[in-house]
Structure 1
Amino acid sequence: MSDAAALPSLAPVQAANDDNARAPRRSRWRLLSQPFALLPAAFLLLVVICAIGAPWLAPYDPFTPSLRHRLEPPGAAFWLGTDDLGRDMLSRVIFGARTALQASLQSVSIGVLLGVSLGLLAGYVGGWLDRIAMRLADVMQSIPAVLLALALISVLGKGLGNAMLAVGLIFAVSFMRITRAVVLAERERLYVDAARVLGLRPGAIMLRQILPNISGPLIVQASISLGTALLIEAMLSFLGVGAESTQISWGAMLETARQFQSEQPLLPLVPGVAITLTVLSFNLLGDALRDAMLPGGPTRKAPSPVIAASGIADAAMDAPRATPPDALLVVRGLTVRAGAQGTESELVSGISLHLRRGEVLGLVGESGCGKSMTANAILDLLPAGAHIAAGSVRLGDTELVGLGDEALRHIRGGRIGMVFQDPNAALSPVHTIGVQLCDIIRAHRSLSHTQARARAVELLTLVGVPDATRRMQDFPHQFSGGMAQRVVIAGALACDPELLIADEPTTALDVTIQAQVLDLLAELRERLGMSILLITHDLGVVADLCDRVAVMYAGQIVEEGPVRDTLSAPRHPYTAALLHAMPRGEAGEGALSTIAGRVPPAWAWPHGCRFHPRCTHATAACSVGPVPLADGVRCIRIDELREVHA
C-alpha cells in the first residue's frame, strides 16, 4: 500500500462538493429546546445540589433533637417546621435527597448492568439462551414488584442496600425485555451484517456496534426507572424495611408524620411534596428524552412476508463442469431454502459458478432473482429462517459451508470483503469513520491504536477520500453518497482480501458518482490483483468492468460465459430480453422494450424452465421437466433458437 498516494484522484467534482453535502451534527443541547424539559431538569438539578451539598446547605443538624421545638409550624427559625422530636424538617428533607438519589442510582445501575447484558445476549445470540431468559422474565414479572422486593429483603435482610438490590433485580427484567426487543430488530440492520462480513467478533458487534445504536430507548427507560426506584424506596422505608435509623428517608419521614398528623397537619406535606415532585420530574424528563432521542416515536420494523410454500420447485441436475486450476471461489450446487419443514421454498436452486484469481465476474438479473441471496449464502449471512440445504462453497482450499463461527469470522473481512449497495446503512451512524475502520483492522491484525489509525488513513487515501486524516473524525452522515461508498470499500479492503463481493455498489448513487465508483473498483482490481464478484442488474456496468457474466433468473443460473460473447450473442431468451430492455440513448419515438410479466415469488417457481411463462419462444415442452445447465446455458431450444437468430 506504499504507493497508495500515487493513485490519481477519481472524484475531483465529488471532492469539491463534499463539504457542501455534509449535514450538521445533532445538537447536544436539543433537549433544552423543549420547554417541558427545562423545569423538571432544573428541579432535579436542585435535588442533586442538595444531595451533594447537604452538610453545607442544611441549616441544622438533621439528627439532633430539640424537645423545646417539638412539632413547631413553619416560621422564621424553622422554615418548614419541626418533627415530633424537634428536628428541622428542611434539614431532614435536604439530607433525604441524598438517600433518595443514592437508592435510585444504585437500583437502576444494577438493573441496567444485568438487564442490558442479558438482553444483548438473548437478542443477538437467540436460541436456548433467549428461551431461558424469557421464561425467567415471565416468572419474575408474574409476581407483583413490591411483593417480590419484600420476599428478597426477607432473604437478604433489612437495609437500604439490600432493598435496592432487590429493586435492581426487578428492574433488570424490564431492561432485559426492552434490550432484547430492540436488538432483535437491530441485528437485522445492514451495518451489523457489514460488521460480521468484516470479521468483528460477536462481543465487539454487540458492545461497539449494536449497543450504542440502541442507547436511546435504554436512556429513556433508565430516566423513568429512576423515579420508579425512588417511589419504591420511599414505600419500603415507609413500611420500615428500607432505610436504617442512621439514614434519612423521605418515606420514613412520611410514616412519622402520619402518626402525628392530628397534632401538626402540615407535617406530612413536606416529604410528600418532595417525593411527588421528584418522581414527577423524572417522568417528565423521561418523556422529554423520548421526544428528543426518538423523534416520531419508536419505529417498528415491517414484518417480513411469510413464505407459505406450496411445494419446492423441481431443481435441474446440472452437468458437472471442470474447475480451472486458478479458481479462487468455487460454488457447486448451492441451494438455499426457507420456511417451515415440509413446506419450504427454494430461494436459490443449485447455483454453480467459479471465479478465477484476479477476475471480475458479473452476476446479473432482475430484482428477486436471488443474486444477493447467493452472495449472503457464500458468507453464511442468510436471514433468519433461511439455510443452506445443499451445495458447496470453496474459497481456495477452504470449504465455507458448515464452517464454525470463529473460523468464518477470520474469513469475513480477512479473505473476503463485501460492499453493500447502501453505504449509509452499512455504516454505524453513532461512530466516526476512524473508529469503525480501526475496529475492523484490529479485529484481524495485532496492531496498536496508532498503527491501526495510520492504516485507516492509508486506506481512505487509497480509495480517493481527500484529506483522509481530518475526515477520520467525521460521522457517516457527513459524507455524501459517493464518499460514503468509498469508505465502505476502504473497510472491505482493510485486511487485503482475496475476494471482494460488491452487491449493487452503485444503485444508490447518481450516474456521475456511479462511474467514479466503478473506475475505483477497476483501479483497485488492477493494483491489488483481487477477484471481484459484482452483483448488478445493469448490463452496461457488466460490459465495462467484468470478464465473465452469469445471468440469474428465479433462483437459477440460466446463462454463463465471457462478457463479449454473452452480450454480443446471447443464447438464452432471458439474456436477450434483458439486452433488448436496456436504454440505448438513441433518438426516436419508439417505446422502450420491456419484459412482459415479473419474476415469480420463491414459493411459486414454475416447473420446467422457470422463464417459460414470460418467454416468447416457449413451447409445451418447456414446462414438462427440469432444464439442466448445459454448455453454459439453461434452455432446451438452444439449437433451434441459434438457427433462428442466425
Structure 2
Amino acid sequence: MSAGTIADERSDAAVVEPESDVRSHTRLWQRLARRPLSLTCIAYLVLLFVLAIGAPLVAPYDPFHPDIKLRLQGPSAVHWLGTDDLGRDTLSRLIFGARTALLASFQSVSFGAVVGITTGLVVGYLGGWFDRIAMRVADVMQSIPAVLLALALIGVLGKGLGNAMLAVGVIFSVSFMRITRAVVLAEKEQLYVDAARVLGLRTLSIMLRQILPNISPPLIVQASIALGTALLIEAMLSFLGVGIDSTQVSWGAMLETARQFQSQQPLLPIFPGLAITLSVLAFNLLGDSLRDATLPTGATAESSISRRTVAPFAVSPTSVHRPEAPADALLAVSGLTVAAPRPGGGSAELLSDVSFHVMRGETLGLVGESGCGKSMTALAVMGLLPPAVSIAAGSIRLAGTELAGLDDDAMRQVRGRRVGMVFQEPMAALSPVHTVGRQISDAVRAHTGLGRRQALARAAELLALVGVPDPHRRLQDYPHQFSGGMAQRVVIAGALACEPELLIADEPTTALDVTIQAQVLDLLMDLRQRLSMSVLLITHDLGVVADACDRLAVMYGGEVVETGNVEATFSHPRHPYTAALLAAMPRGEGVGSRLATIPGRVPPAWAWPQGCRFHPRCAHAVAACRQEPNILRHGVRCRRADELTLTDAR
C-alpha cells in the first residue's frame, strides 16, 4: 500500500464524526420500544421507582405501626395483602421495602462503577506494572466467594445498610474493572485514538472523552445486571440479619419473619419473595435488551436468522436481465442481494445482484480486491452471515435445493455434509484446547452414525488423505504442534469429513509462505479430482486463478462484474476492472520499471457511487457510467464492453 493511500485512509477516518449523544439515545429508545418484553420491564421498574420515591404518600399505613389484634391476618378489604406477626400492614412494608432495595442497589452499583470503571480505564490504557498489579489483586478478590467477602467487610466496618452496600460495591468494582480493561485494550488500538494522539489531546482527555463514550454500551449492560444482583444480595444479607437496622424495612427481613410464622400464615412469604423475584428479573431482562439494542445494528443473531428465513425473497428490478445458470449446475447463485442496517438508519447493500454458477467437478475462482464482497458471498452461501446482516433478495440453489431462507437446523444438514469450507487462517479455525483428532471426529460424528473409535479411524484416514505424515499419532496433537501448512491441511481434512459436493476455499493460502501455498493448492486440485468435488476458490491472487481454476468470476463493489473462462478472460478481458487487475500482476519486469496500480480504493458499502460502481477509478468511464447502474449481460457488467479493446492493458 502506498504512502498516499495510507494518508488518504487516515484523512478519511479523521473527518468521520461520531454521532451525537441525542441521536444515539433516541435510536436506543426506539430499539427498546420495539421490544414488548423491554417495555414491560421498564414499566415495572418505573412503577417501582415511583412507589419508592412516594412511599410516605402511597403507603396506606405506617409500616412500623404494630397492631397485635390484627397479627397474621390474610388479605382483606382493610389490609389488601394482610399483616405480619406484629399486625403491621404487608402492602405498606412492601412499598417502603422497595425504597430500601433500590437505594441499596444504586449505592453499591454506583460505588462499584465509579471505582471499577476508573481503574479499568487507567490500567487498560496505560498498561505496564500498574496493569499487572491491578489484575493480580482482582484475581485474589474474585477467588473469594462474594457473600463471604461481604460478611468479612461487614464484620470490619460494622452492621448497617450503608456498610453492607459498600462491601457489595467493592465486589462489583472488580467486575467493572475487568470488563472496562478488556474493552479498553481493544478500543485503544482504533484509528480514532491515534488521531486524538496526533491532535495532541491529553491522556486524561483521550480516556474520558474519546474512549469512555465508545465503551459505554457493555458497561451500561453490566450496570443493569449488577442492579438486580445487588438487590438480591441486599435481601440475602437482611435475611441473615446483617443488613438493615430496625429503622428500615427490607424485603429480605420480611422473608426472615415470614419463615418463622409460615405455618400460621402461609401467604406471608409469597409477597416479599415475589417482589424480589420480579425486580431481579426485570433488571436482568432489561440488561439483555440493552445489550441487544446497543449492538451496532441493534439486532441479535436470532433476529438475523428470522430475517433470513422469511420467504419468498424480493426480486430485484434487474432480475429480468439476469443470465440463467445451466440446469445441471451444482451451485447456482442468482440475483443475490445481502443488506445490513446502517448506523444512521436505512440499510446498505453489501452484495447487489450477485449471479454466478459452479458446475460439477469444476473450480471457479472468485477474485477481487479486499472489500469487494468475496467472503460475504461465501458466508451467504453457507448461511453464516453476521448478526443483523440478511439476504434481501435472490436465490442460492445447491443441486436443486434452495439454501436462501433455510433455518439454522436445515442449514446444519448442508454444512459439512454437502458443502465444506476452508478458512484463510488455519490457527484461528482450529480450537486450541482440543486435539485435531477430536475436532475432525466431532465433524464426522455430527453427520454420521459412527461411534467414537470409528470416527477417530475416519479422522486418521482424512489426515492421511491430505498428506499429514503418521496420521494416527498426530490425532493426539494440538493445533499449536502443527506448522502453518500442516494446520491448513488439518482444516482441509475437517472440511472433507463427510465428502462434500462443494468445497469453498476462502483464501486458503494467504497466511502461508510461497512454497507451502503451492503445496496446498496442489492438494486441493488433487482432492477435487479424486473426490469428484467442485471448488469455489476465493482469492485475490490471479496467479492462483491461472493455475487452479477453470472459470472465474470477478467481483467489485459487491457485484460480479465479469465471468468467463480463465484463458479467454486473461487473454481478452472485457471489463476495465479485470484488465486493471491483470495489468497490476507482477511479471518480473526489469530493474526500475514501475508496477501498474489501480488509482483509488474500493469504497465502503454505505458509499457505493451512483451508476457503475467502478467509474470513479475507471479510465474509460463516460457520463452515462456515472448515472445509471450497469447490468450483467453476456458475462460482463459494463455498458462499453463491446466497444473497448482491453487486451493491451495486460
Q: Report SS of the residue matched to 1:638.
A: coil
Matches within 5 A, 1:369-518: 369-518=372-521
Do 1:334 and 1:351's aligned partners in 2 also have CA atoms closer than 8 Å? yes
Aligned-residue offset at 1:609: 1.3
Equivalence for 1:575:
578
Q: Report SS of the residue matched to 2:411.
A: helix
1:256-306 CA-partner distances (Å, limit 9, x unpaired): xxxxxxxxxxxxxxxxxxxxxxx9xx99xx99xx99xx9999854778996
Q: 1:359 to 1:137 in 2, by over 3 A?
A: farther
1:429-487 CA-partner distances (Å, limit 9, x unpaired): 22221221121111111111111111111111111111212222222122211111111
Equivalence for 2:525:
522
Equivalence for 1:228:
146
Equivalence for 2:324:
322
Equivalence for 1:565:
568
Structure 2: distance between partners of 1:136 and 1:226 = 36
Higher relative contact order (CA 8 A, sep 6+): 1
Equivalence for 2:629:
626
Structure-1-length-normalised TM-score: 0.56
Which among 545, 553, 568 is matched to residue 556 of structure 2? 553
Letter paired with 1:379: M
Structure 2: distance between partners of 1:644 and 1:399 = 39
Q: 1:578 to 1:129 in 2, by over 3 A?
A: farther
Equivalence for 1:65:
none
Identity of aligned residues (%): 58
Aligned-residue offset at 1:411: 0.4
Q: 1:447 to 1:391 in 2, by over 3 A?
A: same
Do 1:333 and 1:350's aligned partners in 2 also have CA atoms closer than 8 Å? yes
Which among 529, 535, 539 is matched to residue 538 of structure 2? 535
Matches within 5 A, 1:281-296: none
Aligned-residue offset at 1:392: 0.5
Which among 338, 351, 356 is matched to residue 354 of structure 2? 351
Q: Report SS of the residue matched to 1:610.
A: coil
Do 1:315 and 1:626's aligned partners in 2 also have CA atoms closer than 8 Å? no
Equivalence for 1:336:
338
Q: Report SS of the residue matched to 2:395.
A: strand
Letter paired with 1:562: N
Structure 2: distance between partners of 1:442 and 1:137 = 47
1:491-535 CA-partner distances (Å, limit 9, x unpaired): 100111110001111111111111111001001001001110000
Greater alpha carbon shift after TM alignment, 341-350 vs 560-569: 341-350
> Which consecutive unaligned segments of at least 5 residues does structure 2 have?
1-33, 50-83, 85-104, 110-134, 160-166, 191-213, 215-293, 299-315
Q: 1:506 to 1:305 in 2, by over 3 A?
A: farther
Letter paired with 1:224: Q
Equivalence for 1:595:
598
Aligned-residue offset at 1:226: 3.6
Do 1:371 and 1:535's aligned partners in 2 also have CA atoms closer than 8 Å? yes
Letter paired with 1:403: L
Q: 1:616 to 1:490 in 2, by over 3 A?
A: same
1:182-236 CA-partner distances (Å, limit 9, x unpaired): xxxxxxxxxxxxxxxxxxxxxxxxxxxxxxxxxxx9xx88972643232456799
Aligned-residue offset at 1:137: 13
Aligned length: 409
Structure 1: distance between partners of 2:376 and 2:411 = 18
Letter paired with 1:457: A
Do 2:297 and 2:388's aligned partners in 1 also have CA atoms closer than 8 Å? no
Q: Report SS of the residue matched to 1:485.
A: helix
Letter paired with 1:436: Q
Aligned-residue offset at 1:368: 0.6
1:636 aligned onto 2:639: yes
Q: Report SS of the residue matched to 1:349.
A: strand
Letter paired with 2:142: I
Do 2:336 and 2:395's aligned partners in 1 also have CA atoms closer than 8 Å? yes
**Deviating 4+ runs (over 3 angstroms):** 127-139, 220-223, 231-236, 294-308, 314-318, 642-646
Structure 2: distance between partners of 1:571 and 1:418 = 31
Structure 2: distance between partners of 1:506 and 1:222 = 44
Structure 2: distance between partners of 1:138 and 1:581 = 62
Cα RMSD (Å): 4.5
Matches within 5 A, 1:210-229: 224=142, 226-229=144-147
Q: Report SS of the residue matched to 1:335.
A: strand
Letter paired with 2:331: L
Structure 2: distance between partners of 1:298 and 1:332 = 43
Q: Report SS of the residue matched to 2:354.
A: strand
Aligned-residue offset at 1:135: 8.0
Structure-2-length-normalised TM-score: 0.55
Letter paired with 2:378: A
Letter paired with 1:595: I
Q: 1:634 to 1:307 in 2, by over 3 A?
A: farther
Q: 1:495 to 1:128 in 2, by over 3 A?
A: farther
Do 2:466 and 2:523's aligned partners in 1 also have CA atoms closer than 8 Å? yes
1:605 aligned onto 2:608: yes
Q: 1:296 to 1:319 in 2, by over 3 A?
A: closer
Q: Report SS of the residue matched to 2:321.
A: coil
Do 2:557 and 2:602's aligned partners in 1 also have CA atoms closer than 8 Å? yes
Letter paired with 1:429: P
Structure 2: distance between partners of 1:554 and 1:460 = 38
1:552-573 CA-partner distances (Å, limit 9, x unpaired): 0101111100001011111111
Aligned-residue offset at 1:643: 8.8
Structure 2: distance between partners of 1:138 and 1:397 = 52
Q: 1:130 to 1:380 in 2, by over 3 A?
A: farther
Do 2:334 and 2:356's aligned partners in 1 also have CA atoms closer than 8 Å? yes
Letter paired with 1:349: S
> Which consecutive unaligned segments of at least 5 residues does structure 1 have?
1-126, 143-153, 155-169, 175-216, 239-249, 256-278, 309-313
Structure 2: distance between partners of 1:315 and 1:608 = 15
Equivalence for 1:198:
none
Equivalence for 1:269:
none
Do 1:318 and 1:629's aligned partners in 2 also have CA atoms closer than 8 Å? no
Aligned-residue offset at 1:383: 1.3
Matches within 5 A, 1:128-207: none
